[in-house]
Structure formats: structure tokens, C-alpha cells
Chain A
Amino acid sequence: MEHLTGTIQVAGLRKRYGRVAALDGLDLTVAEGNVVGLLGPNGAGKTTALRILVGLVRADAGSVTIEGRIVDRGWVAGEQVGALIALPVFYPHLSGRDNLRVAGTTWGWSTGRIDDRIGTVLQQVDLASVGTRSVKGYSTGMRQRLGIALALLADPPIIILDEPVNGLDPAGIVEIRDLLTSLAGTGRTILVSSHLLTEVEKTCDHVAIMDRGRILAEGTPEALSGAGTDRVEVQLTPADVPAAQRALEAAGLKVSVDEGAEGLRVEGAARGAEVARLLAGAGVYPEGLVHRRDSLEDVFLRLTDHRDEPIR
């Protein structure tokens, strides 16, 4: 990352649960005003990282600072950092409004300010019509929205959201994505973890891909996608595959055979026209030829694919 200092600074974070290393030297910097997406498969260590980030859990090693303050278990997110970690938990006997009122009262707000902010955030997460209903009757998606409402209640400059669209229906996902986009436009610093690549790609201006407790790659979504090699996918009849492979490799191109042996992948910056010319020279005429560039999903899957490795 190009920034030397950030609003959120994570250095060498390590955490073990028994024999499993949940975090293995995690480094992450979130600069002021950035919307950073933390991507990773289930079990990558995203939630553990965010739990440590807000002081819920102590790291075995490493440090976290937010706005220059060291985060430990005495640190309180309070009004400065709005956070949603895992599935949010509320008092089931209280209404959505009263659950939010607990936070406002804790912060010593006036009744007028509490009511005003509760009205605003419930509107933002589309819960205004059910705000007076007891939380025990809320669906998972509604609880998730209420958790986001709590994170936004103090209108904080820093927002940390762990899987904010978990449990939401497609319409809800779009609403929350739009909400995050509008929040990002106000200059807030936002760190959001997710395994939904499309959402992160559409919302974040910086992405960090983590797996097995470490950051594997980071950058803008465009840069990460661009970092993957361009390729030309060639569709062939199975009988033509060996001859085509020989011709292309003889020209110094890196070639791999697609699963099912019905095509070839020509890696690198090869142009489709050049591939077609080489194949024609070898007397092979492809059924199809497409130039592709890696999407964020391709990069993510390539980096986090451990199918050939033994399970830890």
C-alpha cells in the first residue's frame, strides 16, 4: 500500500486457537477516507482480525492502532468507531429503537439527540417501520440491519463492518451496498470484510485479499485484476489439442490444457491474432478464440485455492 501511516494500522498480528493459526502475521493499513474491502474465504481469519481490531480479543503478537491509539481490551470503539462484528447481538426483550437507545444513553446524549439519530439510522437501514417491534421477532437480516444502524448511530468517522450483508436478501444487499457507497462519499474511513467479491468490487476503492491469517495481495480492484495475466482461450476439437499445443509452445508461449482437453489457455500478453496465425501455420483451425483478463474473482480464487494441499 502506498500510504505509510493510516487511520487503521495493523502490524504483525498473530493469533492462535490451539494448534490453528487464525492470524499469521497480518499487516494492513487503512488510510483516512479509504473504503477498504477485506476479502477472504471462510476461515481466512477476517472475523478474528476484526475482533482484535476492536479489542474484543487479544492478539498473541502484533499491534493495532486506530487514529494513533493502541487498541487493547481497554479500548472502546464508542462514538469514534462504528463497528459491526459477526452477527450482531441485541437484547431480545427490547425493541430495535430501545436497543439503539441503550447506546445513545451510554454516551450521555440528550433524549432529543437520541431520538433524532435513531430515526435517521433506522431510515438508512430500512427498519423505520419495525423500530418499535421487539428484537426477538426480528429476522437474521433485520438484526444485521440493526447492527449496521448501531454502527452508524454516532455518525462515526471510522466504520468497521464484518460481513455486513450476511443474511440479507438480494434487495437488501443492494441497499446496504448503496448505503456503503454513499457513506464512502462522505470521506469516512471504512473497513469492510466480506466473501462476496462482487459487493466488495463495487463498493471498495482498495481491496486486501487474505487467507490463512495473512494478506496475500492488496491494491485497487482494478490493479488486482490487472495483476493477473491476460490470456487467450482457444476452443479446439480434442484431436487438434496436441498439435496446437506443440505449435504455440514452439513459438515460446506458455500454454496449458483446459480441463476436459477441449481447449488451450495461452497465458501472458499474447494477442489473439498472433495465436490464430501460429495455429494456422500448424494447420490447426480453432472453433473459437477469446481474449480474457482476470477478474477480481479469478485473482481471489487463484490466491485462495488450496485444493491440492492437505487440510490443516
Chain B
Amino acid sequence: MSHLLAADLVRFGRRRDVWLVLILVPLMIALLYLNEFNRTVQSIHEVLNVDLGPNPDPNVLAQVQAQLQQQTAEQMPAFAFPASLIKIATNPIGVILVGLYLAIALTAGEFEWGAIRTIHLIADRSAVLAVRIGLILGLALLTLAVGLIFGTIAPFLMSIDGTPLQHFAAPVSDLGPALVVRVLCILPFISVPILISVVTRSTGLAVLLTVLVLVVDVALTATPFWQESPVPWLPGTLISGSISRLLGGDQSVFAAFTPAWLAVVALLGWSILPLAGAVLLIRRLDLTE
């Protein structure tokens, strides 16, 4: 297996698009975090925009100060380390984009170029795909890891109104499980496009069908019909529904119908089954490319 991984590194080590994605996405993750921080600070500072006149009442001034401090104390801990890690992992659009792109480009691309024929001649194609899946997952998690490193360092360099951000740091209970759940939420966005890539054997079709599947998933999840149906727990087991259930916790609209364990099982299923299907299917394909 290590030989196959080494071969993949030769194959894709010089792909500029792969490097571009791997460099830009951590930057995107950092920008998303900083942007959200800035928006939050602005909303906290909105209280200062109230016109108090040339000689403000000291009581009113004290009230404004108190409100400012209260909002800062409430909202800043989420940006301070270690909660910053959850903040970054909860907004993984960049990592999802990496997963989607690499899954389709590095899987469907083999069929598109016809290189799958050459792969078949030199190695077991199922083993090559299994290693490729590991590589794609690894690269996606690498971008998340870079984002998390940023989330570890940046709070120590940031401040609000002259107060270091880490002044507001608070311990986070269940940090590990919370991060694991957020990683789990990324996996279907890699596994589903990989299966679709093997089924369609075309980059364009894989992109189209992946988008369609995800849109249909969101549409089904959002349909109010389910709550009145005999299976109200069902939307909480779809991709977007299970993610919503797990990230929303007890506040999720699906909390009443779908237990958290069922959402975890569903998300694991969406992550593992398509990958297993892809590995089994690629062995059965007639390679006429």
C-alpha cells in the first residue's frame, strides 16, 4: 500500500491545481474566521453608535460601557483558543470544497484521461482506488489541520479594544468529540462524489450529479412533510439532516425526532458505504476507455 501511495505522490505531486487548492483553502479558512471575528466586533460596537449628545449622562455612558463589556464577554470566548478550533471546524466550507474537488478531479479524472487503463496494467485497481481515497481524505484533513493550527495561533495575536482576545478564553467541554463530529460532517462530501465519479466515469457528469444529489438531499431534508409522516426521523438521517442534527445539538429542528446516535450512524453510513461501493465497483468495470 505504501508503494501505491508513493506512486500517487509521483502522479499528483506536480499537479498545480492540487497545490493551488491546498494553499488557497487554508487561507480561505483563515479569512472566514477573521471575517466572522470582525463582523462580531462590529456588531458589539454598534452600541457605541447611539448618539448621546455633546454632554452624555454619566449613567447612560456607564450603561453603554456595561453593555459593551457584557456583549464582549459573551461573544469573544467563541473566538479565543481553544473554542476557536470549534469555530473553525464548524465552518468547513473550504475543507468541503477541497474534498469535492479532489474527489472528482483525482477519481473521475483517471477515467476521463483513460489513465485507468494504464493503472489496471500495473496494479490492482481496487487497491489503487482505496489508496487514492486515503490520499484525498488525508489532503482534506491536512487543510483542516492547517486551519486548526491557524485557529490555535491567531487568538494569541488578536485583541479587542486593547484587551488580548485570550483574556476571554474559556475551557471547552468535549473538545475532542466536538472536533470528531465536525470531521465526520466533512466525509460524505468526499465519499459521495468518489462513488459518483466511478459510476459516471466522467468529470463533468460527476460534478453535475454530485451537485444534484446534494441539492436533492437539502431539499428533502427541508421538506416539512416529514414531521407529519410515519418516519419523521428520516430527514435527520440524510446528509444535510444528520449534519444539522449533530451540529445543532438539542437546538436542531430534528432533535425531537432523530436521536443523536442515529444521526451519527447515518453520517458514518454516508461516509463509508459509498467508498466501499466505489472500491467494489471499480473492480467490476469493463475498462473500455
- A contact residues vs B (CB 8 Å cutoff): 51, 54-58, 73-74, 76-78, 83, 85-86, 88-94, 98, 101-103, 105-108, 150
Contact = CB atoms under 8 A, between A and B. Distances in A.
Interface string B267-285: 0000000000000000111
A55 B122 CA distance: 12
Contacts of A98: 10, 14
B122 A103 contact: yes
A76 B117 contact: no
Contact of B120 (A76, A101, A102): A76
Contact of B124 (A58, A74, A83): A74
B129 to A, nearest CB: 13
B4 A106 contact: yes
Q: Which 3 A-B pairs have the closest CB atoms?
A: A89-B114, A108-B3, A106-B7
Given A57-B287, A76-B123, A77-B121, A89 B113 contact: yes
Nearest to B287: A56
B10 A105 contact: yes
Contact of A102 (B11, B114, B126, B289): B11
Contacts of B39: none
A73 B284 contact: yes
Given A57-B286, A58-B286, A106 B122 contact: yes
Contacts of B6: 105
Query: Interface centre among A76, A101, A106, A150, by most B CB within 10 Å?
Result: A106
Interface in B238-289: 283-289
Contacts of A51: 287-288
B122 A76 contact: yes
B121 A85 contact: yes
Majority secondary structure, A binding face: loop
A306 B148 CA distance: 70
A107 B284 contact: no
Contacts of B288: 51, 56-57
Interface string B10-50: 11001110000000000000000000000000000000000
Contacts of B283: 73-74
Interface string B120-157: 11111010000000000000000000000000000000
B11 to A, nearest CB: 6
21 contacts: A51-B288, A56-B287, A56-B288, A74-B283, A86-B117, A89-B115, A89-B118, A90-B115, A90-B118, A91-B113, A93-B16, A98-B14, A102-B11, A102-B122, A105-B3, A105-B7, A105-B10, A106-B7, A106-B123, A108-B3, A150-B122
A130 B6 CA distance: 24
Given A93-B14, A106-B7, A54 B121 contact: yes
A76 B120 CA distance: 7
A232 B123 CA distance: 56
A127 to B, nearest CB: 16
Nearest to B121: A77
Per DSSP, are chain B's interface residues mostly helix, strand or loop, or mixed?
helix
> Which of B120, B126, B289 has most A Cβ within 10 Å?
B120
Contact of B117 (A56, A102, A103): A56
A24 B289 CA distance: 22
B3 A107 contact: yes
Give the one of A55, A83, A88, A89 with max B CB within 10 A.
A89
Interface residues of B, number: 27
Nearest to B128: A106
A78 B287 CA distance: 17
B284 A88 contact: no
Given A73-B283, A106-B123, A108-B3, A85 B117 contact: yes
Contacts of B287: 51, 56-57
Contacts of B126: 74
B282 to A, nearest CB: 9
A71 to B, nearest CB: 12
A78 B113 contact: no
B284 to A, nearest CB: 7
Given A74-B283, A76-B124, 18 more contacts: A55-B120, A56-B288, A57-B288, A58-B286, A74-B124, A77-B120, A77-B121, A86-B117, A91-B11, A91-B115, A93-B15, A94-B14, A105-B7, A105-B10, A106-B3, A106-B123, A107-B122, A108-B3
B42 to A, nearest CB: 44
Nearest to A153: B122
Nearest to A147: B118
Nearest to A94: B14
Contacts of A76: 120-124
B117 to A, nearest CB: 6
Contacts of B121: 54, 76-78, 83, 85, 150
A88 B118 contact: yes
Contacts of B4: 106
Contacts of B123: 76, 78, 106
Contacts of B286: 56-58
A85 B116 CA distance: 12
A89 B117 contact: yes
